[in-house]
């Protein structure tokens, strides 16, 4: 029996943050050595950071990444470690992962399948490494093999498939196993999306079972560069059995998962399956024999919610708070400001900040939590999480004559319950000042009968300067509160409710957001529980409160039912269907509405979608949460000017007439 201890670590890295990235890598290596790990898998591009974007092209960035690699390699005495970085070879830039073993650099593996869809743009910066090809590159003046390599560490053979390599049909791991790999490492930068972890588990289990190997998967952690969230969730498997699952959405900088594997057992499995060693390729030899653990050690148990697919509400309640925490600390902002209307959107954002504090303090302790946000004034003097909230979050309710007592009380109640600093002021005089100014300029009185939209918008815009001023006084980050459903149809006032440097919920639809608020009121995430104060929000009908109260304005009255809007959006944008196809796709879901009514809503959606692309271009950065994002900078491209689907909408009208 040849027992080895595998390790996989998730790291919270930052693009171009060389010193902290190096420190996290060395911390993980030290923890692995102390745990008697023989082979440690670290995430993709961990040295430079995954999200460097066009700075990858800079020779200075490439040289610094290589220099850090040379600094880290001597720190790998006693074990083998994967180390990812960008590397130029023969004038072309590649996404590579080095294997360092016992203080020496053995070689580098090039990523063969680049991620070029969704939020990923790897082909912009890197070239795919050709399967089967091996070259030499000068590293620190010494020729070093690079390419489609295996590494024989004293009789144990290690191979790599880098992130996307494992997601394709012809994954390199199959060939590496056929060539004799005992262990496969998967250094990844796999962004979070709802339910995605189950796909990763399947890939890891398939790799370990079908290839008859032990498999280590590592991932990045946290909000690395602004938009993408990485959930960590290291995975260790052997012989088709999951041995260890790392914590996801951790507030720690590094997390190590370990598991003991039997190399002889996987070799027997391969032999019994009738698969013999086959395929040519280069194997780099090392005399260093990987250590065996002195005593058996149980793997770190996963949290309860990570042992099976968690509900979407749970993932949402953990992903956004972690992303907010990292954005706050990495941007060095002095706190957060929310214009709290008392409605669903702004209350959701405020609740996420409360969860950030509750989850973060519970996991890493208040002292460490505070040390990571040292730029926030007064935080070091706070005695408890509630006091932390008052330092971190300022909320303001900005009334006009069209605001209601229900929303005012709701805003005050939610802010009080979560411990936020709360202000309340009236902007009606500002609104009237603008209305009088423009009325005199155009020579007529502005009225609701003739100037409805303009009069609504000026109220929202009048709230912007005060919120910005409060944020500036605090040195804080103003958070916008628009959601994805509003972004789809432009149901937001630019420079009004879209004011902010970050838009945390712009990637989530309103129908789910309303469900999540009810879940938060009654259930809440494991270890935290519910926030009953949200009942004052959940009993309301969503409304912008921009028209006179006697008009009883509601969001769904202005638009359409949110569940219908979101279904149309998915069919039109995610599934790329044309108007008639969208109608046929959504009609079975909404039998309580007539075909004619659904058809009118489909047409309204397409017209508003095309008219408001310019608004989506101007939204503050948002978090990527699923594969239905509308962010034009990372996911969903659409022309600002277009023909507006006129031909297709005419076909829809003809279809309805039949």
Please identify which residue in the block is written with the tokens 């954002």. 349
With tokens 């190399």, the residue in question is 263
DSSP assignment letter at 502: B
- Average pLDDT rounded to a whole number, residues 183-195: 97
Q: Please tell me what DSSP assigns to residue 607.
A: H
Burial 125-148 (b: 16+ CB within 10 A, else e): bbbbbeeeebeebebeeeebbbbb
101-141 pLDDT, tens per residue?
999 999 999 999 999 988 899 999 999 999 999 999 999 99
Most confident of 453-462, 491-500, 507-516: 507-516
Least confident of 149-158, 273-282, 513-522, 608-617: 273-282
Please state, rounded to an integer, the average pLDDT across all residues of the chain.
94
Residue 1 reports pLDDT greater than 60: no
Domains of the chain and CATH, by start: 3-305 (3.60.110.10), 312-554 (3.40.50.620), 560-658 (1.10.10)
Residue 228 near residue 626 (C-beta atoms within 8 A): no
Task: Give the per-residue pLDDT at 307.
Answer: 62
pLDDT of 542 reads: 74
* pLDDT in the model for residue 634: 85
At 650, the pLDDT band (50, 70, 90 cuts) reads: very high
**Cβ neighbours of 213 (radius 10 Å):** 29
Confidence of residue 305 (pLDDT cuts 50, 70, 90): low
pLDDT at position 415: 97
| pLDDT of res. 273 | 84
Give me the long-range contacts of 54-58 (CB less than 8 A, separation at least 24).
54/124, 54/125, 55/15, 55/16, 56/86, 56/93, 56/125, 56/126, 57/93, 57/125
- Give tens-digit pLDDT for 55-79: 999 999 999 999 999 999 999 999 9
Residue 552 confidence (pLDDT) above 90? no
């Amino acid at each position: 029996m040849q027992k080895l201890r595998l390790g996989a670590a998730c790291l919270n890295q930052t693009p171009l943050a060389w010193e902290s990235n190096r420190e996290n890598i060395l911390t993980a290596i030290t923890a692995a050595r102390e745990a008697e790990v023989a082979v440690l898998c670290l995430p993709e591009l961990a040295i430079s950071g995954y999200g460097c974007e066009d700075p990858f092209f800079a020779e200075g960035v490439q040289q610094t990444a290589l220099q850090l690699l040379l600094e880290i390699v001597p720190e790998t005495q006693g074990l083998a470690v994967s180390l990812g970085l960008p590397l130029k070879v023969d004038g072309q830039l590649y996404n590579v992962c080095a294997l360092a073993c016992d203080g020496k650099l053995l070689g580098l593996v090039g990523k063969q399948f680049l991620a070029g869809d969704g939020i990923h743009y790897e082909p912009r910066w890197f070239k795919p490494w050709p399967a089967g090809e091996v070259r030499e590159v000068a590293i620190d003046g010494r020729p070093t093999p690079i390419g489609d390599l295996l590494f024989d560490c004293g009789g144990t053979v290690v191979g790599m498939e880098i992130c996307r390599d494992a997601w394709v049909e012809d994954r390199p791991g199959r060939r590496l196993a056929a060539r004799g790999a005992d262990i496969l490492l998967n250094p990844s930068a796999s962004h979070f999306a709802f339910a995605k972890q189950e796909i990763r588990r399947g890939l890891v289990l398939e790799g370990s079972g079908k290839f008859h190997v032990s498999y280590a998967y590592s991932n990045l952690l946290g909000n690395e560069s602004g938009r993408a969230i990485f959930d960590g969730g290291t995975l260790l498997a052997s012989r088709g059995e999951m041995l260890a699952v790392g914590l996801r959405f951790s507030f720690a900088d590094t997390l190590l998962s370990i598991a003991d594997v039997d190399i002889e057992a996987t070799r027997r499995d391969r032999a019994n399956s009738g698969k013999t060693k086959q395929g040519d390729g280069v194997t780099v030899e090392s005399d260093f024999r990987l250590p065996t653990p002195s005593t058996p050690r149980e793997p770190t148990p996963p949290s309860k919610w990570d042992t099976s697919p968690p509900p979407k509400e749970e993932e949402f309640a953990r992903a956004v708070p972690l992303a907010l925490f990292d954005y706050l600390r990495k941007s060095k902002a002095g706190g957060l400001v929310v214009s709290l209307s008392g409605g669903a959107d702004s209350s959701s954002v405020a609740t996420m900040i409360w969860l950030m504090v509750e989850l973060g303090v519970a996991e890493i302790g208040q002292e460490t939590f505070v040390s990571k946000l040292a730029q926030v004034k007064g935080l070091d003097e706070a005695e408890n999480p509630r006091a932390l909230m008052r330092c971190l979050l300022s909320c303001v309710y900005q009334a006009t004559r069209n605001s209601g007592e229900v929303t005012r009380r709701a805003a005050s109640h939610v802010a009080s319950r979560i411990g936020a600093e709360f202000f309340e002021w009236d902007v009606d005089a500002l609104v009237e000042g603008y209305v009088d100014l423009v009325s005199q300029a155009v020579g007529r009185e502005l009225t609701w009968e003739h100037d409805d939209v303009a009069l609504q918008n000026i109220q929202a815009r009048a709230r912007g300067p005060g919120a910005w001023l409060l944020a500036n006084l605090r040195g804080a980050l103003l958070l916008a509160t628009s959601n994805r459903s509003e972004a789809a149809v432009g149901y937001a006032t630019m420079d009004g409710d879209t004011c902010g440097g970050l838009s945390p919920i712009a990637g989530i639809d309103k129908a789910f957001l309303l469900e999540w608020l009810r879940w938060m009121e009654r259930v809440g995430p494991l270890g935290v529980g519910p926030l009953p104060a949200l009942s004052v929000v959940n009993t309301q009908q969503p409304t912008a409160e921009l028209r006179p109260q006697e008009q009883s304005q509601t969001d769904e009255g202005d638009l359409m039912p949110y569940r219908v809007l979101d279904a149309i959006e998915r069919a039109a944008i995610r599934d790329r269907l044309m108007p008639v196809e969208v109608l046929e796709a959504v009609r079975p879901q909404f039998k309580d509405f007539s075909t004619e009514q659904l058809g009118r809503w489909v047409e309204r959606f397409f017209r508003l979608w095309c008219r408001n692309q310019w608004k989506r271009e101007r939204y503050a950065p948002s978090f990527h949460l699923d594969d239905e994002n509308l962010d034009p900078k990372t996911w969903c491209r659409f022309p600002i000017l277009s023909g507006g689907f006129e031909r297709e909408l005419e076909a829809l009208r003809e279809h309805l007439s039949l």
